[in-house]
A and B are shown apart, each in its own frame.
Chain A
Amino acid sequence: MAVTAAAPSGAYETVAAVIAALLLAAGLMVTLRMARGPSTLDRAVALDVLVAVVMAGIALQSAVRGNAFYLPVLLVLSFLGFTGSVGVARFMALRDEAGTEDVDVSEGTGEESRGEQGTDQESAGGQAGGAGGNSAPDDGPQRPGPPPEEP
């Protein structure tokens, strides 16, 4: 490795600087899109491109320096760079399918009907419980009455 660490010098320094400037400009544009993007999917796409640009920058850096210390970082980024956008896309699909018209109507009615049933059951249970004898204000004179009378 020490032999092959022939970091190209001279004119290639300027070439590397130009490449770094191009990558920096690309990263700035992608970051601008990520900040400005109207939807979350735009930001996910911009995140993917930003990961690719950062990987290119790390590859350029390790090529210019002539050491391979950061190549495992490249490997990890190529493994895990896609998980962020996949998760974002997955949750976007689940959330916005509830937001589109057709599914929204069906799911909305379903949830509303469930909610109404739940409230009905709850109110019925409350009434049953009240009729069961826990309603203090109505039956109060009768029920709490015996304990004072018994002693």
Chain B
Amino acid sequence: MSWGEVADAGGALCMLAGALLCLLAGIGLLRLPDVLSRMHAATKPQSFGLLLVLIGAGLWLRSPIDLCTLLLVGLFQLLTSPVAAHMVGRAAYRTGRLDREGLVRDELAEALRTAAADRDPGDSGENPRSTG
């Protein structure tokens, strides 16, 4: 059994695991009740599942240029997907699309409360439109 066959088998396993993570994300998106919990399911194929598929594709391609391209793809995916998740989660929290009974701790509410109390206890203190 040569190294090429080992790489082929490993690549097939990695891609199969990545595709299973994608399928899990689909099931989670359909079944979970909330935006934040759907994001919990949605971030699995974005980072780990896609990295597994890229590793598998790199193990099948085995060319240095393609490996560098796949490395760049994984790097930029890891850089950009938390930004999108952060923005979507912040918008979901600010617009109140979450069930607060499901939260174990809500530290952002305390932080917002203390920030509003620090800024101005009076009238126009709460202005969540500002940057954050």
Binding site for B on A (CB under 8 A): 1, 4, 6-8, 12, 15-16, 18-19, 22-23, 25-30, 32-33, 39, 41-42, 44-46, 48-49, 52-53, 55-56, 59-60, 62-64, 66, 68, 71-72, 74-75, 78-79, 81-82, 85-86, 88-90, 92-94, 96-97, 99-100, 102-103, 106
Question: A41 to B92, Cβ gap below 8 A?
Answer: yes
Question: A85 to B29, Cβ gap below 8 A?
Answer: no
Question: B61 to A62, Cβ gap below 8 A?
Answer: yes
Binding site for A on B (CB under 8 A): 4, 8, 11-12, 15-16, 18-20, 22-23, 25-27, 29-30, 35, 38-39, 42, 45-46, 49-50, 53-54, 56-57, 60-63, 65-66, 69-70, 72-74, 76-77, 80-81, 83-85, 87-88, 90-92, 94-97, 123-124, 126-129
Q: Please report the number of residue pairs spanning A and B whose Cβ atoms sit closer than 8 angstroms.
A: 211
Question: B87 to A6, Cβ gap below 8 A?
Answer: no
Q: How far is the CA of A88 from the CA of B83 in the complex (A)?
A: 13
Q: How far is the CA of A27 from the CA of B27 in the complex (A)?
A: 10
Main secondary structure, interface of A, reads helix
B129 to chain A: which residues have CB within 8 Å? 94, 97, 103
A79 to chain B: which residues have CB within 8 Å? 76, 80
Question: A63 to B91, Cβ gap below 8 A?
Answer: no
B84 touches which of A4, A32, A48, A100 (Cβ 8 Å)? A48
B92 to chain A: which residues have CB within 8 Å? 41
Q: How far is the CA of A143 from the CA of B69 in the complex (A)?
A: 82
A90 to chain B: which residues have CB within 8 Å? 87, 91
- Within the complex, the shortest CB–CB distance from B126 to chain A, in Å, comes to 6
Closest to B26 in A: A29
Q: How far is the CA of A136 from the CA of B131 in the complex (A)?
A: 53
Closest to A14 in B: B12
B56 to chain A: which residues have CB within 8 Å? 59-60, 63
A42 to chain B: which residues have CB within 8 Å? 35, 38
Closest to B35 in A: A41
Q: How far is the CA of A82 from the CA of B78 in the complex (A)?
A: 11
- Within the complex, the shortest CB–CB distance from B14 to chain A, in Å, comes to 10
- Within the complex, the shortest CB–CB distance from B106 to chain A, in Å, comes to 16
B69 to chain A: which residues have CB within 8 Å? 68, 71-72, 74-75
